[in-house]
A and B are shown apart, each in its own frame.
Chain A
Amino acid sequence: MNKRHNCDKTCWNCPAAILKGNVDFRACGQSKEEIKKKVEENPNLNMVIECARRPELGHFEPNITFEQCPEWIETKYGYMLKEMRVMILGIDGYLGWPLALKLSKLGFKVAGVDNYWRRDMVMEKGSHTAVPIQRMTQRLQSAKEILGTNIEFRKIDIRTELDKLREFMEEFKPESIVHYAEIPSAPYSMVDCNHALKVQDNNTLGSLGVLFAMKDIVPESSMVKLGTMGEYGAPLTGRPIFEGMFPADAVLQWDGREWSMGGEMTPRNPGSFYHVGKVQDTYNVYEACRYWWLRSYDIMQGVIYGVHTKEMAEDKRLRTRFDFDEWFGTVINRFVAQAVLGIPLTIYGKGEQIRGFIGLEDAMQCMIRLIISPPEPGQYDVVNQVSAVYRIVDLAEAVAEVGKEFGIDVKIQRLENPRVEPDKHPMEVVSKKLEGEFGLDPKIRLKEEVRRMFKVLTNPEVKKRLEEKKHVVLPKTRWNGDKLEMDKLDEYEPGTKKFKLELKQQLDTIHGNDKELKGIKENGN
C-alpha cells in the first residue's frame, strides 16, 4: 500500500507538541532565549518539547513521525490525530457546515462559532437560501440524531466579541482553526462605503484579532485560512499563477541583470474591496507566522460549487445553504438557479474570463488533508485549491447541456460587465501542492455535480423558494457605485456560438499540464 502523504511529518508539525526550549548538552546547560533563532543558528542545540497527549514521554526532541506515534491513526485521508480538536470559525456558512459534519463524522472534536451574518446579509439583500436550512440549535440536534456527532457551538462575532472567542479557545483548546468567518462576496463589498467598510472590518481586522488570540492561547495550533484565487487577479501576460510564492527557479530579469525570486510572495492583483481585504489578510497571516512562529495554510480557493457531500446526503435536514442572489451566489450555482428559473444564464462582457473552480466535496477533502498535516512552527504556506479552470462561456454551455436532461430549455445572455476586470484573458494556474504533498484525489466531476444541483433545485419546495426571490438574480451592483440593471448585449441559444480558445487556459498539476485544457467535455462526464 502507498504510504500516507503525512506519514513522515513529525512532532515538529504536531499541535500536541509544546515547545519548551533548547538545551545545549555539550556544556550541560539549558538556554532560555527564543527557540526559533537558536535551532536555525546553532546546530549544537537540541530542541526540547513535551507532548500534551503523552506526558509520560517527558522532554524529548520533536522527531517522532506520525506513522510511529500511537496518537496518530491511519485514515483514508492520511494519518489523523485521534479526536483532533478543530474549531471552525464561520460554522454556519456554505462551507463551514458541511466541513463540521464531515470532520465530526470522522471522529474529530468539532467546535464552531458564527455570528449568523451570512443569514442576515442575504436577508438584508432581500434574498434567502434556496435550500432551506434549520436554525443552528436544530442543526446541531439533527447532526446528533442522524450522524451521532456532538458539535459544540457558540454565537460569537470574531470582530466585536474577541473576548468571548478567546474564552472559547481557552476552553476548547483547538489544535486546528479553520477560518471561514469572512464575508465572502466581492459585489457586497462594492455596494457602497458602508458595505466596503463592513467587509474589510470584519474580514481583515477580525482575522487579525484571531491571530492575536492564537498567539496568546493556542500558539501550537494551525490556522487553515480561506483566501481566494481572486487575490491574484488575472495577469494579462499569462504568467503562471504560482501557489503564493515564486518557485525556487523563478528569476527576475531587468537591465541586463537577474535576481532569484524563489520564495518571495508573488504579486497580488485584487479585483474588489473584498479581494483587497483578502490580500491584506494574506500579509497579516504571513507576518504573524514570521513574528510569533504561528503556522498557517492560506488556501487560495477557486470558485466553489455544488450541493453534495456524503454526510449532507444522508438527510435533508443536514443540507447546507444555497445562495443564488448576485451577492452571495457563486457562478455555477447561480447558473443552475437561473436555468431552473428560466432566466437566460448571465455572462458578463465577452464572458471569456477564466477562473479556477472546485466542487464542494473536493474542497472538503482538501480541508481535511490540510488540517491533519499541519505546517511547522513559523511556516506559512499557500495552496491553490483548484481542480479545474474554465471559461465562463464554456460553463454556461455545460450547465445548459445538463439543463436539457431535465427538460429545461436554457438560453444564455451577455450583460454589460458590472465589474472592472478583463473579460478575455489568458490563465495558467499552478496547483501542485494539494495533490503532490497532501495526496488530494479530486472526485467531483463538473457535470455530475451540476446534475445533482438540478435535482435539488427542481424539487418543488426548493424551486418555490427560488421563484419567491427571482428578482435578486440579475446583477445591479456596479463597481462604479451605480445601482442599475445591466444592459443586455446579446442573447443566444447554447451551442450556436463558437468561442475559439485563443488564449492560454491551463492548470498545472503534478500529473503534468493542462489536464483540463480541453475543457468541459473531458471532465464533465
Chain B
Amino acid sequence: MTKKTVIMGIDGAPYKLMKDLSDSGIMPNFKKIRERGSFKKLKSSIPEISSISWTSVITGKNPGEHGIFGFVDMIPNTYSLSFPNFMNIKEKPFWKKDDQRYIILNVPQTYPAEELKGVLISGFVALDMKKAVYPNVIIPKLEKFNYQIDVDSNKAHKNIDLFVEELFKVLDARIKTADFFWNEADWGTFMLVFTGSDRLMHFLWDAYKNENHKYHEYFLNYFRKIDEYIGKIDMDKYNLIMLSDHGFEKLNVEVNINTFLENEGFLVLDKEKKNYAMITKETKAFSLDPARIFLNIKGKYPNGNVEDTEKVVDDLKNSFESLEYNGKKVIKKIYKKEEIYHGNYIKNAPDLVLEANEGFDLKSKLNREKIFEKGMFTGKHNPEGFLFVNADENKIPKIPCVEDILKIMEELKNE
C-alpha cells in the first residue's frame, strides 16, 4: 500500500531558526525527525512573499506560469490595486490533479475554497468564512473549535499582549481542527500550514534571542507547541514533507521604495487624489509591495507615458545601485523579469524586482515622507526557508526551491 503524504508548513520559519531550536532542545521532536531524513535550506520565491511562494509550492510552477506575483496587482487599465486570490491562479494545485482525498488546511492563497474531494479551509487572505471552507457543512464544527483563519494583526498595533494572547488562541484552535480531520476524515494527503509564526516573527523577532525580552519565552513556546504537534506524527507511516515558504531575519530599517522613486524623479504624484490614482503622466515607474517596480508604460496604464523601456530600466538600475543607508548599500540585486520568470503570464510581472541586503525591509507604501523609517516590526522576510523530507538526499535537488516541492512529493509517492 502506498504511504499517505503529510505536508506541514511553518510560515516564515528560517532554516537557521529550525536548526537552532532543535539543537537547543526547544524542538526535540523536530530534532529526532531531522536526523532521520534530509534537512535543507529552501529557496523562496522572488520576491519572498507568502502568496507567491505557497502558490509555487502547491502548483510546482514559476510565477510566470501560475500568475501570482504578489499580494497586490494592478487591475488592467487602472491604478486600482487588486488582491489576487485562488481564482487568479492559472495552474492547478496538486489536489486537483488526481482523485485522491485531500485535507488542505490553512494554505495561504487558497481563498475562496473550491470544491475538491476532501476538505479545504483557506489560509489568509480569506475575508469571508463562508467562502473559505469546503464543504461548508463543516462550518459549525469549526465554530465549535473557535477556528479563526488569521490572527488579527491589528491587535498588535493596539497592544502586544492582546496580540500574543490571540496568537496562541488561534494556534490552539488550528491544532484542534487539524487533529479532528486527521483522525476523523479519510485522506490520502494531509497539508497543514501554521501561519501565526510569520506574524510572531514580524512583531517579536527581537524576542527570539534576547532572554531578557518580555516575550522571549512566548516566542519559544510558540515553536514548542508546533514541536508537540510534530511529535504526534509517526514518520514511519507517512511520506513527510515539512517546509517554510521563506525565512526571517532581523529588521534594521524599513525602506520606502516609492519615496525613493519620488525623490529621484521617477514617480510624480498628484496629492489631491488617493492611493495609486495619484500617479501622474510625468511618472516613469512606481513600486508595489514589497519592491516590485512597474514602468508606467504608455497604453498599459491610464497615465502611462513610458515608451523607451530599456532606458528607464537602465536609469532605475543606476539609481537603485546608488541607494545607501549609513554607508551600506541597500539593494543586493536587481532582477529584470526575464531573469526570474518564465511562462505565459510573464506579461503581468513587474519589470524589475529588488532584493535587499540583510536588515533592509523594502516597502512600497505611498506618501511616506522619509525613505528610511523604523516601524514596530522587528523581523522581516528573507529568501532562506527550510525543507525537511523523510527521504534520502538524492531524492531532493541540491539547492531546492519552492517550485520543487511537488516533484519531491511525486517522487516519494512513486517509491
Contacts and interface: CB of A to CB of B under 8 A. Distances in A.
A159 B87 CA distance: 44
B275 A23 contact: no
Contacts of B307: none
A43 B367 contact: yes
B277 A65 contact: yes
A64 B78 contact: yes
Interface stretch (B121-129, B330-338, B342-350): B121-129
A313 to B, nearest CB: 41
Interface in A173-228: none
A359 to B, nearest CB: 35
B84 A58 contact: yes
Contact of B198 (A20, A22, A28, A44): A28
Contacts of B78: 63-65, 68
Contacts of B202: 26-28
A48 B127 contact: yes
A8 B199 CA distance: 37
B233 to A, nearest CB: 26
B389 interface: no
Interface residues of B, number: 47
Contact of A30 (B125, B157, B275, B289): B125
B367 A30 contact: no
A46 B157 CA distance: 15
A44 B365 CA distance: 8
B277 A59 contact: no
A61 interface: yes
A23 B50 CA distance: 14
A385 to B, nearest CB: 28
Nearest to A41: B157
A32 B155 CA distance: 10
B374 to A, nearest CB: 13
A106 to B, nearest CB: 26
Nearest to B149: A30
A33 interface: yes
B289 A25 contact: yes
A30 B375 CA distance: 18
A8 B277 CA distance: 10
B175 interface: no
Given A48-B127, A65-B277, A28 B199 contact: yes
Given A25-B289, A28-B199, A60 B150 contact: no
Contacts of B75: 57, 60, 64
Interface in A348-362: none
Contacts of A61: 72, 80-83, 275
Contacts of B154: 22, 24, 31, 33, 38, 42, 45
Contacts of A27: 153, 156, 198-199, 202-203, 377
B80 A30 contact: no
A59 B365 contact: no
A28 B126 CA distance: 12
Interface in B382-400: none
Contact of B79 (A28, A31, A63): A63
Contacts of B273: 8
B177 interface: no
B199 A29 contact: yes
A48 B198 contact: no
A10 interface: yes
Contacts of B11: 28
Nearest to A32: B152
Interface in A441-479: none
A21 interface: yes
Interface string A134-175: 000000000000000000000000000000000000000000
A20 B127 contact: yes
Nearest to B84: A58
Contacts of B126: 30
Contacts of A38: 154
The interface centre, meaning the residue of A11, A45, A64 with most chain B CB atoms within 10 A of its CB, is A64
Contact of A59 (B79, B83, B195, B199): B83
B72 A58 contact: no
A48 B75 CA distance: 13
A46 B81 contact: yes
A56 B276 CA distance: 21
Interface residues of A, number: 35
Contacts of B152: 29-33
B299 to A, nearest CB: 14
B84 A25 contact: no
A57 B157 CA distance: 30
A63 B153 contact: no
B92 interface: no
B82 A60 contact: yes
Given A33-B154, A60-B83, A63-B81, A26 B377 contact: yes
B263 interface: no
A306 interface: no
Given A63-B78, A63-B275, A23 B83 contact: yes
A223 to B, nearest CB: 24
Contacts of A277: none
Interface string B60-73: 00000000000110
Contacts of A64: 75, 78, 80
A62 interface: yes
Interface string B133-167: 00000000000000001111110110000000000
Contact of A58 (B82, B203, B275, B302): B82
A44 B275 CA distance: 11
Given A28-B202, A30-B126, A59 B153 contact: no
A54 to B, nearest CB: 9
A31 B156 CA distance: 11
Nearest to A31: B154
A20 B130 CA distance: 13
Contacts of B377: 26-27
Contacts of A11: 80
Nearest to B111: A59
B36 interface: no
A63 B124 contact: no
B274 interface: yes
Contact of B80 (A28, A31, A43, A60): A60
B77 interface: yes
B150 A29 contact: yes
Contacts of A44: 365
A46 B149 CA distance: 18
A178 B367 CA distance: 38
22 contacts: A21-B127, A23-B71, A24-B153, A24-B154, A25-B71, A26-B363, A27-B202, A28-B49, A29-B151, A30-B126, A30-B149, A30-B150, A30-B152, A32-B127, A43-B365, A43-B367, A58-B83, A58-B84, A60-B81, A61-B83, A64-B80, A68-B302
Given A38-B154, A46-B72, 7 more contacts: A23-B125, A27-B199, A27-B377, A44-B365, A60-B82, A61-B72, A61-B81
Report the 8 A-B pairs with minimum CB-CB distance, sorted nearest first: A29-B153, A60-B82, A63-B80, A59-B83, A61-B81, A31-B154, A20-B127, A27-B153
